[in-house]
Chain A
Amino acid sequence: MEFYPDVYKRACSKLNAPPDAVKEAIRMTEQKRRPRKAVRNLLVTAAILALAVLAAVGASAAPGGSVFTHVTAFMRSPQQLPETQGKKCLVRMQNGMGDETEFLAERVEYLPESNMLKVWLNTPDGDIMWLGLSLDESCRQYGSYEEMRRQEGAATGVGPDGTQYEVQLK
Chain B
Amino acid sequence: MSDEEFAGYAQEFAGTVYRVAFHTCKNAADSEDVLQDVLLKLYQEKTVFESREHVRRWLIRVAVNQSRKLLRSAWFRRSAPLEDCAALLEEASPEEGGVFQAVMDLPQKYRTPLYLYYYEGYAVREVAQLCGLKESTVSTRLQRARQKLKEILEEGS
Residues on A close to B: CB < 8 A?
Answer: 1-5, 7-18, 21-22, 24-26, 28-30, 34-35, 37-38, 41, 96-100, 140, 143-144, 146
Contacts and interface: CB of A to CB of B under 8 A. Distances in A.
Interface residues of B, number: 58
A16 B65 contact: no
B118 A8 contact: yes
A143 B57 CA distance: 11
Contacts of A29: 3, 6, 39-40, 43
Given A16-B15, A97-B61, 4 more contacts: A14-B92, A15-B100, A24-B36, A96-B41
Interface of B: 3, 6-7, 10-11, 14-15, 17-19, 22, 28, 31-33, 35-37, 39-41, 43-47, 58, 61-62, 65-66, 69, 86, 88-92, 95-100, 102-103, 115, 118-119, 129, 132, 146, 149-150, 153-154, 156-157
Contacts of B11: 22, 26
Contact of A37 (B10, B37, B88): B37
Given A37-B36, A37-B37, A11 B10 contact: no
Given A3-B149, A22-B14, A12 B40 contact: no
Given A8-B119, A14-B90, A140-B47, A21 B62 contact: no
List of 5 A-B pairs having minimum Cβ-Cβ separation, nearest first = A98-B65, A17-B18, A11-B96, A11-B100, A1-B153
Nearest to A98: B65
A7 B132 contact: no
B40 A143 contact: no
A21 B35 contact: yes
B146 A15 contact: no
A143 B61 contact: yes
Contact of A25 (B15, B35, B95, B99): B35
A41 to B, nearest CB: 6
Contacts of A34: 40
Nearest to B115: A12
Contacts of A144: 132
A14 B36 contact: no
18 contacts: A1-B154, A3-B153, A8-B99, A11-B96, A14-B89, A15-B88, A15-B90, A17-B31, A18-B18, A18-B28, A18-B32, A25-B40, A26-B7, A35-B36, A37-B36, A96-B44, A98-B69, A143-B61
A21 B36 contact: yes
Contact of A2 (B14, B119, B129, B153): B153
B15 A17 contact: yes
